[in-house]
Amino acid sequence: MELLRIEHTDFTLTVESTRFDAMWQKGVGNLGREKLTSTYRWGDNVQRVVLMNENGEEREIIPNIDTEPAVFFEQTDYSVWVDFKSDKVAEVCFDSPRKDVNERFSWKKDKLLLAGFLNYGNEIGRADMPILYTIDGVRKRFVFSYDVISAKLDYHNDWKIIVKDIEEEYRMLSLDYLRRTYHNIQEGEGETFDLIWWSIFFSHQEQFIRACHNIIDRPRHRLRSIEDYKRADQIRHFTPMLEQQIAEHRSEEMRLYRVEEQQNTYNTPENRFLKHALGTIQKRYSVLADRILKQNSGLAETERTRISETAQQLTHLTRNPFFRMVSRYEGLRQESLILQRDINYSKIYRTFAILQKSFSLNDGLYRMETKDIATLYEIWCFIQVEKVVRELTHADIEQDNRQELNGLFTYSLGKGEHSKIIFKKDDITLAELIYNPRHSEKDDVKGIDNLESKTVPQKPDIVLQLTKDDLEQGMKLTYLFDAKYRLEKDGTNDVPPDDAINQMHRYRDAIYFNAKHDNERLKKEVIGGYILFPGKMDEASRFLHSIDEVNIGAFPMRPDQKQHQLLTDFIADLIRKRAVDVVEQVIPQKGTTLAVKNRVLIGIVMPDNPQRNNFEFGSATSYYSGDTFPTTIPLDGMDYFAPYIPDKGIRDLYLITGIHTSTNAKGADDDKLRITFDLKIVRSLFTDYRMVSLPIKRAFCDTTLDKLTTE
């Protein structure tokens, strides 16, 4: 299906796609026709540009109009045909900085045809279609520009919100290098990153180098007074005072007279600034160019040549003999009209000033490449979960600098423990949020303490751990969120793809808790898993109901949607719930009983008990019964032990790690058979001893943790 045609004086460019209709209809269903627009721009000598509408009818367009229907979508294949009209054309190629893009195009000389295909993946934004060719011995470069938009998110609004939210949390984390699309930025505040400097100078380097050449060829100079001492016969210009001195000393032929002469000098403030600006730019450009050329194998050969030639030109300029006559730059003591108004000096001054500034990702004049939308969406979802937890807990945040240098000079968000955010209130940890941990038995560098997978590595996008103290001191409940920049349709509701939901089931089944230092058995760790995706859902969605039933489901996350409230309400409910309620709702395995009743055995510790002091200091390791034990108290499934100190009450809670019978129990004065409980301190139930009104029969009482804490 033909979508677009450009009729140029030298060629005809045609764009076709077999999947365009499906993508267009998907975009219309998700966003509406009014959001699927693009701005088109092109170079000189274009006679006509034609778009095909849905009915196959031609519509001629003009450049720089924002209301034209979009042609280029993410994740869509496009065929590009460039038919040249003259057999004198040569050296034809697609001139992208990326080698892999250029390799998709081939020049068929016998047919005078450049043919290839484009697929922008998840890279949305502004894109160029650059054609480089020689005709009649003249080298030409034609560029056609357009927007690559999304069928899931409103590119003109949602993308800006996502980037704005990311930039507020992580300065310049959105930026990337050597992408197929770009965006416009404007001046801002903050640090001048290498990537920004490189991208901005790219748009100024040609005029900067030309201005340097023009100045060196015809530099500005000024007259300055030079003091010297000469004999009378060497002096050309006489002042009245000098004539009087010569008359007085006419008999002294070898006498020297002080004279002032005017000479031209190139050591002006403007030339000193030029030397400083050129040297500074040359040094930084050379360092970055060397890094790019050595570390980036995906760079196209034409781009390598351009970078190398620019570096050589700058180096050659700094070594020009002209600068031997110019001293070191020590600043400008006053404003220079030459730097502001001279056509060449002003270009140097303006370029240098721009490169010292920082920029923000808002609409502006300069090009900047960003990460693909799937990566941005994942980071954005992490930030949204962080904001929700912070607002609900009103907690203080503890976090390290989580941005890590990635590749050439771009940054990525630290992963696993490197990305941890701790939410604290009054020095008590309430929650922890972690980005992209990797759970594997062999690779625990980027994982979470005590969590691992025994089979293949597991890597959820977002891990939320809530700390609860009602069941066990410092107990952590783990919930997983995975951001997926994908969606499908289920009637009127958007839904995540099936494989994403299956992945959450796998995460919950594969990630275990392993307290290696206690030599305990593996324990199931993940309570639930949830997909975050750019869709729209109502409360009737099956993936919202499935959360209540099996703790696996999905939440819609779009910048333009108020459905964030669904996720906010859900996390608020998780924060409110007690650990005992959460664990009791976990679905048990068939044939087993996993429903935790939190049964507590209360036992009296008499004054003559040898371990009385250990219990009072919270360091007891065992407790034994008398020679009889109430038959009405079943020991099967007993979880905890709470020592009752007469006249004081209950304070501490111990975990029962083992129950067995023994004779000669430690501290007992006979060899009668007794029941021994192996204990491990869990926490203090109360800050001080508290009396309870529970019926204690024959020194023991069977209750539950819930009843004990509400007594």
At residue 594, the pLDDT reads 45
Q: Are 379 and 403 a contacting pair, CB within 8 Å?
A: no
Q: Can you tell me the mean pLDDT for 190-204?
A: 77
pLDDT score of 445 more than 50? no
Cβ neighbors of 446 (< 8 A, separation 6 or more) are 415, 416, 417, 418, 436, 437, 438
Q: Whole-prediction pTM value?
A: 0.74
Q: Can you tell me the mean pLDDT for 512-538?
A: 74
Cβ neighbors of 510 (< 8 A, separation 6 or more) are 439, 453, 454, 455, 456, 458
Helix residue ranges per DSSP H, 512-608? 542-550, 564-576, 579-584
391 SS3 class? helix
Q: Can you tell me the mean pLDDT for 384-409?
A: 82
pLDDT tens string 318-340: 999 999 888 888 887 767 788 88
More confident residue, 546 or 706: 546
Element (H, E) at 325: none
Q: Residue 613's beta-bridge partner residues?
A: none
**Residue appearing with tokens 């197929």:** 180
At residue 657, the pLDDT reads 87
Instruction: Give how far Cα 703 sits from Cα of 332, 366, 451, 698, Å.
Output: 83, 70, 32, 15
State percent of the chain over pLDDT 70.
86
Q: Can you tell me the mean pLDDT for 373-393?
A: 93
Q: Can you tell me the mean pLDDT for 402-423?
A: 77
At residue 595, the pLDDT reads 47
Instruction: Give how far Cα 542 sits from Cα of 433, 499, 539, 548, Å.
Output: 27, 16, 8, 10
At residue 386, the pLDDT reads 93
Give the pair of three-digit tokens for residue 426: 């009054």
At residue 590, the pLDDT reads 54
More confident residue, 147 or 178: 147
pLDDT score of 665 more than 70? no
pLDDT score of 191 more than 90? no
Q: Residue 145's beta-bridge partner residues?
A: 41, 128
State percent of the chain over pLDDT 90.
33
Q: Could you count the other beta carbons within 10 Å of the beta carbon of residue 452?
A: 23
**Residue appearing with tokens 């507020």:** 168
The values of phi and psi at residue 256, to 5°, are -100, 140
Give dist(CA 341, CA 350) in Å, integer.
11
- What band does 232 get if pLDDT is binned at 50, 70 and 90? confident
Angle formed at CA 330 by CA 328 and CA 332, multiple of 5 degrees: 125
Q: Can you tell me the mean pLDDT for 109-122?
A: 95
Q: Can you tell me the mean pLDDT for 125-137?
A: 94
Give dist(CA 60, CA 568) in Å, integer.
48
Q: Can you tell me the mean pLDDT for 415-424?
A: 83
pLDDT score of 523 more than 80? no
Give dist(CA 615, CA 642) in Å, integer.
10
Give dist(CA 553, CA 60) in Å, integer.
47
Long-range CB pairs of 386-394 (<8 Å, 24+ gap) are: 386/169, 386/421, 386/433, 388/564, 388/567, 388/568, 388/571, 389/423, 389/431, 389/433, 389/464, 389/571, 389/575, 390/423, 392/568, 392/571, 392/572, 392/575, 393/423, 393/425, 393/430, 393/431, 393/575, 394/425
Per DSSP (E only), the strands in 136-282 are: 138-149, 183-188, 222-230, 257-265
Q: Residue 27's beta-bridge partner residues?
A: none
Of the listed ranges 196-210, 402-416, 491-505, 556-570, the one predicted with least confidence? 402-416
Give dist(CA 207, CA 205) in Å, integer.
6
More confident residue, 443 or 312: 312
- What band does 261 get if pLDDT is binned at 50, 70 and 90? low
Long-range CB pairs of 445-448 (<8 Å, 24+ gap) are: 445/416, 446/415, 446/416, 446/417, 446/418, 447/416, 447/417, 448/416, 448/417
Give dist(CA 274, CA 281) in Å, integer.
11
Give dist(CA 165, CA 162) in Å, integer.
5
**Residue appearing with tokens 């000393």:** 249
Instruction: For residue 574, give the nearest of 433, 444, 695 by alpha carbon.
Output: 433
Q: Are 548 and 573 a contacting pair, CB within 8 Å?
A: no
Angle formed at CA 569 by CA 567 and CA 573, multiple of 5 degrees: 115
pLDDT score of 630 more than 70? yes
Q: Which range scores top for mean pLDDT: 289-298, 315-324, 513-522, 627-636?
A: 315-324
At residue 491, the pLDDT reads 74
Give dist(CA 345, CA 252) in Å, integer.
51
pLDDT score of 450 more than 80? no
Cβ neighbors of 645 (< 8 A, separation 6 or more) are 605, 612, 615, 616, 651, 689
Instruction: For residue 230, give the nearest of 219, 242, 220 by alpha carbon.
Output: 242
Q: Which range scores top for mean pLDDT: 382-386, 424-428, 580-584, 666-670?
A: 382-386
At residue 318, the pLDDT reads 94
DSSP 8-state class, residue 623 = E
Q: Can you tell me the mean pLDDT for 151-172?
A: 88
Element (H, E) at 240: helix 240-248
pLDDT score of 444 more than 50? no
Instruction: Give how far Cα 427 sits from Cα of 127, 391, 417, 431, 576, Å.
Output: 50, 17, 20, 12, 19
Helix residue ranges per DSSP H, 324-473? 337-341, 345-355, 373-393
Q: Can you tell me the mean pLDDT for 119-138?
A: 94
Instruction: Give how far Cα 581 sits from Cα of 585, 595, 662, Å.
Output: 6, 10, 36
Of the listed ranges 39-43, 405-409, 492-496, the one predicted with least confidence? 405-409
500 SS3 class? helix
More confident residue, 415 or 30: 30
Q: Which range scores top for mean pLDDT: 72-76, 464-468, 634-638?
A: 72-76
Q: Indicate the class that CATH gives domain 599-710.
A: mainly beta
pLDDT score of 196 more than 70? yes
At residue 702, the pLDDT reads 82
pLDDT score of 479 more than 70? yes
64 SS3 class? coil
At residue 695, the pLDDT reads 65
Question: How does the average pLDDT of the chain come out, rounded?
Answer: 83
Cβ neighbors of 577 (< 8 A, separation 6 or more) are none
pLDDT tens string 578-615: 877 787 677 665 555 444 567 888 888 888 788 888 88
Element (H, E) at 361: none
Q: Which range scores top for mean pLDDT: 85-99, 347-361, 612-626?
A: 85-99
pLDDT tens string 423-438: 998 888 888 888 888 6
Per DSSP (E only), the strands in 63-161 are: 68-69, 72-73, 78-84, 89-94, 105-108, 113-118, 125-135, 138-149
Give the pair of three-digit tokens for residue 208: 């900067």
Give the pair of three-digit tokens for residue 337: 């009209």
Element (H, E) at 318: helix 301-318
pLDDT tens string 534-574: 988 877 788 888 998 889 999 999 887 676 888 999 999 99
Give dist(CA 690, CA 694) in Å, integer.
12
Rg (CA), the chain: 38
Phi-psi region at 331: left, alpha or beta (left = phi > 0; alpha = psi -120 to 50): left
344 SS3 class? coil
